[in-house]
Structure 1
Amino acid sequence: MIRVLLADDEAMIRAGVRAILSADSEIEVVAEAGDGREAVELVLSHRPDIALLDVRMPKLDGLAAVAEIRRVAPQTKVIMLTTFGEDDYIARALGDGAGGFLLKSGDPRELIAGVRAVADGAAYLSPKVAQRVVAVMAEGRMSRGAQARERIEGLTEREREVLALVGAGLSNAEIARRLFIVEGTVKAYVSTILTRLDVRNRVQAAIVAYEAGLVT
């Protein structure tokens, strides 16, 4: 069962999101918050697998809540849910450790797919957000490519293989099946890769993989 905390300052939005998630028998909304500060407190008391946060909330907005949750409860993965798709929101959320970014205007199926993917250890961006990330990365890819290639020089051949598959959006379980190794070994590889690349999460590692040319 994937345990989810839902945080949004609009009760109707929370009800709608809860209804969508309840369609999946393996997802359970264990708590709801109306502001970012309450969301952090409920994460500490309920220890959910996923915190699904709106970007704009009172007391502590979703972007600030991401960093706080990742600091006090690193085992809880965070997905941002918003009507806004501006680049600065995306960059800050991913930089602070969010594992996914979904738009409220997207297909409801994306919501379930995103929760499942992030809970399984993968990163998930809604298609529209992914397009913006790729576009922004492409604008400066040549200058960043050399830096990214230098960063991966310290990785072993196997670690590069794992990094490439992380960059392709595969979960730990999928990588394990692809490389014919156990999932626990994949988790160890991913942890080592994050440390050696000095990145905070799989999304940032995937960006390095893309810029270094490991992923097309």
Structure 2
Amino acid sequence: MIRVLVADDEAMVRAGVRSILTTEPDIEVVAEAADGREAVELAARHQPDVALLDIRMPQLDGLAAAAELARTQPEVAVVVLTTFDEDEFVARALGDGARGFLLKASDPRELIIGVRAVADGAAYLSPRIAHRVITAVDTGALSRRSTARERVATLTPRERDVLALVGSGLSNQDIARRLHVAEGTVKAHVSTILQRLGASNRVQAAITAYEAGLVEG
């Protein structure tokens, strides 16, 4: 069962998200918060697998709450769910440790797919956001490619294999199946990869894999 916390200052939005998620037998909404500070406190109390955070909330906004959760409760997979898709918000969310970025205007199925993906250890971006991230990576790619390759060169061959699969969007479980190793081994590799690349999350590692040529565009 995937345990989810929903944080949004609009009660109708929280009700709508709950309604979508609870149609799935493997997803349970265990807590709802009306502001970012309450979200952090409820996450500590209920230990959800996934925290869905709006950006514009009182007390503590969603981006600050995402950073706080990444620092104090890294086992909680944070997904930003918002109407705002400005590049600044996307960059801050991913930089602060969010594993996903979803738009409220997206198809409800994206919400379910995204929650399952991040709960399984993968990263998930709305297609519109993913396109913009890749476009941003493409812009100035030549100037960053050598840096990415230098970082990847510090990895072992097996770690490069794992990074390439992370860059392809696979979860730890899928990577373990692909490489015929235990999922715990994959988790250990991912932790080492993030440390060596100086990446704070899987999205940043995936971008490095893309820039280094480990993943085809």
1:122-177 CA-to-partner distances (Å, cap 9, x unmatched) read 00001011011011111121111110001111101110000000000000111111
Q: Distance in 1 between matches of 2:84 and 2:142?
A: 28
Equivalent residues, number: 216
**Matched residue, 2:16:** 16
Q: CA deviation at 1:94?
A: 0.1
TM-score by length of 2: 0.98
Residue in structure 2 matched with residue 188 of structure 1 by the alignment? 188
Q: Which residue of 2 aligns with 1:25?
A: 25
Aligned residue in 2 for 1:109: 109
- Superposition deviation, residue 200 in structure 1: 1.0
For 2:41, the equivalent position in structure 1 comes to 41
Kindly provide the CA deviation profile for residues 32-67 of structure 1, in whole angstroms up to 9, marking residues without a partner as x.
000011101111111111110001111110011110
Deviation at 1:82, TM superposition (A): 0.4
What percent identity do the matched residue pairs reach?
69
Question: Equivalents in 2 of 1:132, 1:55: separation in Å?
Answer: 19
Distance 1:144 1:92 in 2: 20
Per-residue deviation, 1:195 = 1.1
Q: Does 1:59 align with 2:56?
A: no
Q: Helix, strand or coil for the counterpart of 2:153?
A: helix
Residue number in structure 1 paired with 2:143: 143
Query: For 1:109-132, what per-residue CA distance to the aligned partner results, in whole angstroms no more than 9, with x for missing partners?
Result: 000000000000000001011011
Cα distance in structure 1, aligned partners of 2:57 and 2:25: 28
Query: Aligned letter for 1:201?
Result: N
Distance 1:112 1:69 in 2: 21
**Distance apart, 1:71 and its partner CA:** 1.1
Amino acid at match of 1:103: L
The list of structure 1 runs, each at least 4 consecutive aligned residues, that deviate by more than 6 angstroms after superposition, is none
How far is 1:84 from its partner?
1.1
Question: How far apart in 2 are the matches of 1:58 and 1:131?
Answer: 30
Q: Distance in 1 between matches of 2:13 and 2:179?
A: 41
> Match of 1:128, as an amino acid?
R
Q: Which residue of 1 aligns with 2:164?
A: 164
Alpha-carbon distance between aligned partners in 2 of 1:140 and 1:58, rounded to the nearest angstrom: 37
Cα distance, 1:184 vs. partner? 1.1
The 5-angstrom pairing of residues 74-153 of structure 1 reads 74-153=74-153
In 1, the alpha carbon distance for the partners of 2:71 and 2:188 equals: 21
Unaligned runs of 5+ in 1: none
